[in-house]
Structure 1
Amino acid sequence: MAYFEKEELRQAKQMSAIEFLKRYRAKELVRCGTGEYELRSHDSFKISESTSLWHWKSRDIGGKSALDYLVRVEGVPFTDAVRYLLEQDAPAYVPCRKIEERRPFVLPPAAREEYRVELYLQSRGVSLDVIRYCISRGILYESLPYHSCVFVGLDRNGVPRYAALRSTCDGPKAFKREQAGSDKRHSFCIPPEVRSRRAAVYEAAPDALAHMTLEGGRADKYRLSLGGIYVPQDTSTDRPAKSPAALEAFLQSHPEVDELELCMDNDRAGRWAAQNIAKHYSKEYTVTVNLPPIEGYDWADMAKEEKEKRAARSRAVCLDREL
């Protein structure tokens, strides 16, 4: 068995997983959202571009370094992986066989109250009325033991099939992920008070709540989250759009809908997705594209900024009264 000095092991662990993948597995990386990639061979593998934290959902394993990735994902023996990293010479890539069995979907336990969820979402600019509208319909609650936001997706029979989890804290411990076993075809959707012919489509669940807040809390249309978007590495080619699974399943379950409002993020990925989804559905539906007015923003950013503007105006009024 090969022996490595402590300094050699330290050097081997320095390279991050995202750096390794970009350098040696670039063709395997597929952007799947803002600042996030998946593997072409394993779409349940997600990695953050900024932190390098990765999670392979179908196997429920994760890590951060290139060494973690080689050993746990590609199955390279530890000593071989260390040697490859020290020599800056990656092994040939042989994708592991996809695991076809889906883990059973079980919602996280619920807390007795939604106090932290309400405070967190309000701090992000979402109105309390919108939060409680979602809670009352069983599509938003606070989990145990970590008190995260749980955005629930229901099937046509009202049975939970999907959940997006988001921590109620900021900083290094913040996270967002999907519950194991989630079926993206039944993604999070805020229903209208009465059946509607209109549906707004977002990249993520918080965007749906934020945009509903900015529109005065109107529950006059469906608000569907896609749970992320698929964007190919090469967006320069005029290739046909890939229909998101959540949107395709939603439209099959709601034949009354004939108007789509695409409310993607105002970034390169969001603009590309909106353009191509519009192209895909424009023959059958009336499609409009409604991006945030500020480049680089999503609707959650817009709601938070509007909240900060209101607070600034309120402080100015108070100062005027004191003077």
Structure 2
Amino acid sequence: MAWVSKEEIKAAGEMTAIEYLQRYQPQRLKKSSARYEWELTDHDSFKISERTSLWHWKSRDIGGLSALRFLIYVDGMPFVEAVKLLCSENPSYVPAEPVYKEKKAFVLPERYPTWNRIRQYLSGRGISNAVIKYCVEKQILYESAPYHNAVFVGVDEKQKPRYAFLRGIYDKQGKSFRIEQAGSEKTYAFCIPPEEKSVRVAVYEAAIDAMAHMTLEGGRADKYRLVLGGISAPKEGQSHRVMKKPVALEHFLKQHPEIREIELCTDNDFAGRGACEHIKKAYEGSYQMIENLPQIDGADYGDLAKQRAEQRKQCKQVERGR
């Protein structure tokens, strides 16, 4: 009888489902209507996130993260055969050896004298000029030199920059440049502060979502808008586990004891909804939890802001044509 070692099981479990599919079965993937989400050509109700690898087979009501669980529960492969496949030379998969590098000192990218290009880019994403200007004046957003990336800055309690996320404004073949500046500390994520003290913090997955939601709310600076810089969502067989609290939110709450309300504004997709539920369970009882996901399935607030801007543009064109 065939058997596998603990080491083989561990190695097989380290490959994610999206990595396996993109590397060895890309012909089975097709883009879904939601951002960062794919479907299987042979299972229409199957969705998988390219950012988190979380997948959900709606018709069977099962989900997971790893390639191992995918092979067993979606492709019906026996456990031992699936482990052997993922550890074999075809496809070859050997867990990468950790590479330890000395952490670089954090230095902000060079500033460009103006911010006209990022204003044009963000305006095209449906974000109002007032919100862009507010972030620039708070010195948490600027345009970099020489590549004109939008730089979203996270600062500490003394307003010293400790984190930066760079987002390219020129997409190439549907892909854009996105990277955290070397030496960034996730504890100090991008956060839009209110004009006055507030007891509420709204949390988002991305900086553009925070700015887009602020735009949709008429540019109101009446609460903190914190970007989590990554979300924690359910993993296979652990839907009821105690989640790891987001480091950015946990640090923020320690620095702001006046906070009483947490508004959940994650994406309205499988991963975002899972993260929303886990954050709610982690903090309910200590804070008032307000669930405020985008109303359109599969969308984020960036999508909604862009959609509204396009609708307004069409209305103006119709009015000019009268």
How would you bin the TM-score normalised by the shorter chain? 0.7 to 0.9
Residue in structure 2 matched with residue 174 of structure 1 by the alignment: 176
Asked whether 1:308 is paired with 2:310, we answer: yes
2:191 counterpart letter in structure 1: C
Residue in structure 1 matched with residue 7 of structure 2 by the alignment: none
Once residues 151 and 222 of structure 2 are traced to their aligned partners in structure 1, the CA distance between those partners, rounded to angstroms, is 23
Shift of 1:35: 4.0
Once residues 289 and 181 of structure 2 are traced to their aligned partners in structure 1, the CA distance between those partners, rounded to angstroms, is 31
Once residues 287 and 167 of structure 2 are traced to their aligned partners in structure 1, the CA distance between those partners, rounded to angstroms, is 32
2:190 counterpart letter in structure 1: F
Judged with a 3 Å threshold, the aligned counterparts in structure 2 of structure 1 residues 160 and 235 are, in CA distance, closer, same or farther, namely farther
Residue in structure 2 matched with residue 108 of structure 1 by the alignment: 109
Residue in structure 2 matched with residue 266 of structure 1 by the alignment: 268
Judged with a 3 Å threshold, the aligned counterparts in structure 2 of structure 1 residues 146 and 219 are, in CA distance, closer, same or farther, namely same
Residue in structure 1 matched with residue 216 of structure 2 by the alignment: 214
Once residues 231 and 216 of structure 2 are traced to their aligned partners in structure 1, the CA distance between those partners, rounded to angstroms, is 23
Residue in structure 1 matched with residue 32 of structure 2 by the alignment: none
Contact 1:110 1:144 in 2 (8 A): yes
Matches within 5 A, 1:1-323: 18-19=19-20, 35=36, 49=50, 88-90=90-92, 92-93=94-95, 95-97=96-98, 99=100, 101-172=102-173, 174-234=176-236, 237-320=239-322
Deviations 1:139-163 (A, max 9, x none): 0000011100000000111110101
In structure 1, list runs of 5 or more residues that go unmatched.
1-16, 25-33, 37-47, 51-86
Deviations 1:22-51 (A, max 9, x none): 769xxxxxxxxx749xxxxxxxxxxx949x
Q: Secondary structure at the match of 2:262?
A: strand
Count of paired positions: 251
Once residues 285 and 208 of structure 1 are traced to their aligned partners in structure 2, the CA distance between those partners, rounded to angstroms, is 21
Question: TM-score with structure 2 length normalisation?
Answer: 0.72
The alignment's C-alpha RMSD in Å is 2.7
Q: Secondary structure at the match of 2:226?
A: strand
In structure 2, list runs of 5 or more residues that go unmatched.
1-17, 26-34, 38-48, 52-88
Once residues 105 and 308 of structure 1 are traced to their aligned partners in structure 2, the CA distance between those partners, rounded to angstroms, is 38
Q: Secondary structure at the match of 1:131?
A: helix
Once residues 133 and 152 of structure 2 are traced to their aligned partners in structure 1, the CA distance between those partners, rounded to angstroms, is 13
Provide the identity percentage: 49
2:268 counterpart letter in structure 1: N
1:315 counterpart letter in structure 2: Q
Judged with a 3 Å threshold, the aligned counterparts in structure 2 of structure 1 residues 22 and 259 are, in CA distance, closer, same or farther, namely farther
Once residues 241 and 162 of structure 2 are traced to their aligned partners in structure 1, the CA distance between those partners, rounded to angstroms, is 31
Once residues 243 and 232 of structure 2 are traced to their aligned partners in structure 1, the CA distance between those partners, rounded to angstroms, is 10
Q: Secondary structure at the match of 1:184?
A: coil
Once residues 210 and 91 of structure 1 are traced to their aligned partners in structure 2, the CA distance between those partners, rounded to angstroms, is 41
Judged with a 3 Å threshold, the aligned counterparts in structure 2 of structure 1 residues 220 and 91 are, in CA distance, closer, same or farther, namely closer
